[in-house]
Structure 1
Amino acid sequence: MASKEFNVIAILHPKKGKTDIVLRQLNEVAEYVQKNEPGVLSYSINRSLRPSKDGEEEIIMLERYKDQAALKEHGSSQTFTAFNKKLAEQDLMRAPMVLKMGNAGHRLPMASLAAFAWKALSSPTPDPKTSTLPERIDPLDLFAGVRLCE
């Protein structure tokens, strides 16, 4: 049976040279979340390992919530709302945030999850202006070399 936990992957696209500003603001949000939102089980901020050829970076958020209600509480918090307002007012983003959400399914052992995340985050991001994506990406390619059982 699937868990009630709710997972979010958020990908932020700061303008060139603005990544550190966005990261500082995200760390303020993370401090608030840690102290005030017990329904947030994990809130991980990750800087892309390989910027594009133009020096553009991504920030990848890996978030885990107790349930969908905890996600809604986080999304409507004054701190998170203020963060989004700052992003717009300070013109820090080059593209809209990409959100992927879903219920937690089978849990990988932590070491395997870390290896999977490392491989996924260290893969180069194709430049949409000069690259074409394959028609189909095999998710198993992401797991190549990752030990799934402990």
Structure 2
Amino acid sequence: MASKSTVRRRSKYLQDQREKISVGSSGTQQKDEIKVAAKQKRIDQLFEKIPRVSISSEELLAVKTDLGISSNSNRKLKRWFNRWVVKIGGEQQMRQEKNNIIGDNLVAENLPFLLNEDKGKIVKLAPCVYADSLPQKVLQQLNENDRLNLLSWH
């Protein structure tokens, strides 16, 4: 709620900004804004009818890993999903799940590799991940699968 003078002052400010942005064709600009607002209202009404879908933090971690995206890009993806009425698990849960999967047994570092480029082969630093102890990593994976009742004993 706002007083008539406040609404008038805001309208004047918007009109001035529209005039600056559109360089003299503020009427055309305002018509387009009204069209966009009407479309957005219809879209919002449609989204209200869609049932909410949820993606767990474990599934989001799998998406992040499969797409090879950074945490920042993952946050953008999460905001995009939220816009489309999809509920996403928390980032803290996702990081905790990642730590459970990786443990302290994997080592990541940048190492020089011979890579193919347009100009030919070139030596560049590239990320490399390896298990510090393969038997320990296998045992960790078996223990995790046992905890989740994914093992069948024969």
Structure 1 and Structure 2 fold alike (TM over 0.5)? no
Higher relative contact order at CA 8 Å, sep ≥6: structure 1 or structure 2?
A: 1
Instruction: Say which structure is richer in helix.
Output: 2
Structure number with greater Rg is: 2
Normalised TM-score (structure 2):
0.22
Normalised TM-score (structure 1):
0.22
